[in-house]
């Protein structure tokens, strides 16, 4: 077992575990993730196809690529990745979520490997590592980024998504989402654990990753959908980084 500091926050795990049986309920406690999934899958697909020079019009553009989803929850991202042809592994410290993910993948006829482990306890290397909406829930985020970097192959790609630490993210990501709209259970997020893009970029560079792209994710209240933004990174954002090909 790694001697690295554990990224697992047991209070956070407990918070999510109580709702884990409802991961695939589109109107349940994970409703926002279902709503934003089309936009984030589109972003991930674009970045992976561009980086590995794959045909985005292909039905299985990720064929022969290995992808790890750290903090995979019930498998909301793992399953689309598998359908796009990837060899997918999902890892999560929440044992209940992993069992839900396994059952849903089996029902869907998808071959996905699921591990009930935090990032620092994994030892295989992957072409792509995804860490989506997870770093704001871990302890020791710098160590967590180091763990993600160690899990990606040289020449590979790491994609993070998280919440920026701004007044706007407090208003929309916590006050509106948790208390007014009640999209997510109260206490889901702690604003002080949100990470600015400059901070995440610094952590990535310290882990020998090269930040390559930052893009915002915005909610459109008129359509009720999420969409990517080149300019507004005040609330949610993605950061993709590459690992040098040695």
Task: DSSP for 45-82, please give it.
Answer: HHHHHHHTT--TTSS-TTTT-EEEEET-TTTTTHHHHH
pLDDT at res. 184: 67
Residue-wise DSSP of 158-169: EEEEEE--SHHH
Tokens read off for 47: 């970045």
Position 11 pLDDT exceeds 80? no
Percentage, residues of the chain above pLDDT 70: 90
The CA distance from 102 to 176, in Å, is: 33
| pLDDT (tens digit per residue) in 163-215 | 999 988 878 777 666 655 566 667 677 888 999 999 999 999 999 999 999 99
pLDDT at res. 80: 98
Inter-CA distances, 228 with 69, 72, 98, Å: 20, 21, 29
pTM here is 0.91
CB within 8 Å of 142: residues ≥ 6 apart: 203, 206
Position 156 pLDDT exceeds 80? yes
| pLDDT (tens digit per residue) in 35-65 | 999 999 999 999 999 999 999 999 999 999 9
Q: Considering the domain 10-243 in this protein, what is its CATH number?
A: 3.40.50.150
Element (H, E) at 115: strand 113-115
pLDDT at res. 3: 42
pLDDT at res. 38: 96
Average pLDDT of every residue of the chain? 90
């Amino acid at each position: 077992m790694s001697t690295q500091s554990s990224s697992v926050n047991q209070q956070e795990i407990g918070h999510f575990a109580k709702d884990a049986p409802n991961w695939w309920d589109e109107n349940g406690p994970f409703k926002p993730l279902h709503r934003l999934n089309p936009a984030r899958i589109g972003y991930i697909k674009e970045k992976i196809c561009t980086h590995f020079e794959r045909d985005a019009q292909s039905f299985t553009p990720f064929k022969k690529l290995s992808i790890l989803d750290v903090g995979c929850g019930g498998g909301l991202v793992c399953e689309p990745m598998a359908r796009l042809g990837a060899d997918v592994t999902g890892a999560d410290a929440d044992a209940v979520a992993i069992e839900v993910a396994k059952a849903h993948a089996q029902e869907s006829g998808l071959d996905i490997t699921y591990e009930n482990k935090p990032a620092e306890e994994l030892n295989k290397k992957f072409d792509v590592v995804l860490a989506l909406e997870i770093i704001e829930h871990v302890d020791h985020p710098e160590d967590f980024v180091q763990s993600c970097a160690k899990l990606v192959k040289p020449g590979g790609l790491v994609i993070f998504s998280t919440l920026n630490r701004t007044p706007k993210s407090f208003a929309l990501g916590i006050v509106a989402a948790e208390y007014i709209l009640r999209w997510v259970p109260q206490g889901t997020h702690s604003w002080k654990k949100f990470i600015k893009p400059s901070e995440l970029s610094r952590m990535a560079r310290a882990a020998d990753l090269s930040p390559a792209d930052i893009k915002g994710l915005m909610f459109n209240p008129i359509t009720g959908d999420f969409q990517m933004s080149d300019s507004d990174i005040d609330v949610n954002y993605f950061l993709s980084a590459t690992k040098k090909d040695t």
